[in-house]
Structure 1
Amino acid sequence: MPHVLLERPLHPAGRAILDARPGITVETATGDVADFIARAPKADAILLWLTTVDAAFLDRCPNLKVVARYGVGFDTIDIPECTRRGLPVAVVNGANDLGVAEHAMALLLSIARRIPAYDRMVKGGEWRSVDGPPIGELAGRTVLVIGYGRIGTRVARLCAAFGMRVMVHDPAFPTPRIAADGHIPAPDWRAALAEADVVTLHCPLHAGTRHLIDADALARMKTGVWIVNTARGPVIDEAALVAALRTGKVGAAGLDVLTVEPPAKDNPLFGFDNVILTPHSAAAAQETLAKMAVRAAHNILDALDGTIDPGFLVNPEVLRKNA
């Protein structure tokens, strides 16, 4: 009887789908990584949040038939090793793009309108609507969207709806497609940095994007640029960002992801009033959690049945290999 192991409790919308399926057993780990790893050898299917899956992990799991993620990122999974073993790696494409895009805009609007600062001011007894911290409009500003997948395309459309001039960089998308969507293609993203008032990141983390925003990239940006990151923390060189915040090169940042999560209590980013931080919660809206849970549950069951849609796999080539 196939055994499904969940890294932590799953949203009821997805858990109900698993529980309704006869002929399988479902177990939930405590959320502690060590507990999950200890239970994994019995599993035919696992549902991951951010636990690392490498060759050593897979060696302990001889029965495994699918690795599923409760999300769309897969930087914690050794994809080549899974592919070598014929293991499909499933993600919840299409389930969280709206939620993450809205969160990116929330961070951007909070930067522009200084929402956290005004909230603290009012609660502290101050009421200064004109001579308080300076705020700005989004309309008329130029934004560079780096990464034009499901989330980046939504962010680009939302920015355009706010009247922003939208530049887009993504080597996976031809410039005619970006132009046809009404945006400005930016194949040379480093050159485009000099034009951007805002840089928002929506690219996956891999060797080519780790520290994409480094000291050199920051030096090319306008003084006072705003940076939003809802992708992965290591896409930004955090030390270089801190240095740029100290000099004023970066005017503000909205970050849902950090290099180390959870961060150390002495993380220097905590010391900036112009940095807004959220705890990797861009996909945590209740509606988003439900959609991801449903998709993840179907991915697991479909993989066990041998009927999974390759559109939800990071490595669809394993279907041919296993045929």
Structure 2
Amino acid sequence: MSTNKKKLLITESMSQQGWALFRERGDIETVQFSNLISAADFSALLEQQAPVHGIALGATQFGEPELEASRDMKVVARIGVGYDSVDVAALSKRQVPLMIAGTANSPSVAEQALFMMLTLAKRAVELHALVKDGKWSSRLGMLPFDLFGKTVLIAGFGRIGSRTAKRCLAMEMTVLVYDPYVASDVITAAGCEAVTDLDAALPRADFVSIHCPKTKETTGLFDAARIARMKPSAYLINTARGGIVVEAALYDALVAKKLAGAGLDVFEVEPPPHDHKLFDLPNVIIAPHVAGVTREALDRMGLQTALNMLSVLDGEPIRQNAVNAEVLG
């Protein structure tokens, strides 16, 4: 490899739009790796390919040991927006920016959140089974309900939460927003009601939809005490990250009929165990952490990830997509 070339390790989930940008560049060498690579194999790959100047990650863990093995890392990117698998402090210590895919998958996650609300409200799973099982005559004992006129509480008003709010407003819902990091006038300008006390707002909500990042502050945010503040007729939707909701507490509330139902795209352990207790409940709908992984979102995320990485290497970083933008000077 020419000493002028930059070597990038790219996970296999990178879209063709992203690969195309790299192929256009004569100063870039790419090495593909599996998104399911073990920690030991990943470390060995980094040492074998070093110096590595950039990496595009799926769910692979990345921190100080990986930085050390890379020897000359310039940019770390996530093909997505979550970054709980990356040690941001370790990157910042070495002045390495962490780039995320910005708004690339936010429409997809917002759609999934609304889909889960509608699926639960319209009792789609139960009514589908009712017709197939020849129980047509019992349909009036399993009535769906409208989102129209209901209240949703959105926790987190970033790229995804704000888009979810727009979709809920289109359904003519009352939208409450809890986000201590967003000014109340921004929330109000979007047609929503800003709430500063999450605990006080929970009893008002027919739906709670989680759209905050997973941090030390938000891990376990919805524990038994907080779930107990929700109405027994309310539904909890989590398309953010596993661990923000305490699953044992959620299960207990659902079984005790202190909560009407839940929609989960994410879990504390992924993949979750086959005998997970929540799977047996008829009022829980689940998905395998794919809310932001539509065909279109993958294309957008791959393209944005490639643009993010090249912008750093070219000395013109896309600052709004840097998690630790302070390292950019």
Contact 1:45/1:64 (<8 A) preserved: yes
What is the letter of the counterpart of residue 102 of structure 2? Answer: N
TM-score when normalising by structure 1? 0.95
What is the correspondence of 1:1-323 to structure 2 with a 5 Å cutoff?
1-34=5-38, 35-41=41-47, 42=49, 43-128=52-137, 130-131=139-140, 133-320=142-329
**SS of aligned partner of 1:269:** helix
Gaps of at least 5 residues in structure 1 are none
Return the alpha-carbon distance in structure 1 between the equivalents of residues 139 and 114 of structure 2.
24
Q: Relative to structure 1, is the Cα distance of residues 107 and 236 closer, same or farther in structure 2, using a 3 angstrom cutoff?
A: same
Contact 1:72/1:92 (<8 A) preserved: yes
Gaps of at least 5 residues in structure 2 are none
1:190-228 CA-partner distances (Å, limit 9, x unpaired): 100011111000000001100100011011111121000
What is the letter of the counterpart of residue 45 of structure 2? Answer: R
Contact 2:110/2:163 (<8 A) preserved: yes
**SS of aligned partner of 1:160:** helix
**SS of aligned partner of 2:185:** helix
**SS of aligned partner of 2:236:** strand
Contact 1:233/1:260 (<8 A) preserved: yes
What is the letter of the counterpart of residue 82 of structure 2? Answer: G
* Cα drift, residue 40 of structure 1: 2.4
Return the alpha-carbon distance in structure 1 between the equivalents of residues 36 and 210 of structure 2.
29
Identity %: 38
What is the letter of the counterpart of residue 60 of structure 1? Answer: A
Return the alpha-carbon distance in structure 2 between the equivalents of residues 100 and 18 of structure 1.
27
Q: Relative to structure 1, is the Cα distance of residues 129 and 291 closer, same or farther in structure 2, using a 3 angstrom cutoff?
A: farther
* Cα drift, residue 12 of structure 1: 1.2
**SS of aligned partner of 2:182:** coil
1:156-189 CA-partner distances (Å, limit 9, x unpaired): 1111111111111101111122122221111111
What is the letter of the counterpart of residue 88 of structure 2? Answer: I
Return the alpha-carbon distance in structure 2 between the equivalents of residues 138 and 32 of structure 1.
39
Contact 2:176/2:193 (<8 A) preserved: yes
* Cα drift, residue 132 of structure 1: 5.3
TM-score when normalising by structure 2? 0.94
Contact 2:35/2:59 (<8 A) preserved: no
Matched residues, number: 320
Runs of 4+ in 1 over 4 A off after TM superposition: none
* Cα drift, residue 73 of structure 1: 1.0
What is the letter of the counterpart of residue 46 of structure 2? Answer: A
Q: Relative to structure 1, is the Cα distance of residues 179 and 60 closer, same or farther in structure 2, using a 3 angstrom cutoff?
A: same
Contact 1:30/1:36 (<8 A) preserved: no
Q: Relative to structure 1, is the Cα distance of residues 128 and 70 closer, same or farther in structure 2, using a 3 angstrom cutoff?
A: farther
Contact 1:4/1:25 (<8 A) preserved: yes
Q: Structure 1 residues 5-14 or 36-45, which shifts more?
A: 36-45
Return the alpha-carbon distance in structure 2 between the equivalents of residues 12 and 282 of structure 1.
20
Contact 1:40/1:46 (<8 A) preserved: no
**SS of aligned partner of 1:5:** strand
Return the alpha-carbon distance in structure 1 between the equivalents of residues 303 and 296 of structure 2.
11
Return the alpha-carbon distance in structure 1 between the equivalents of residues 43 and 106 of structure 2.
29
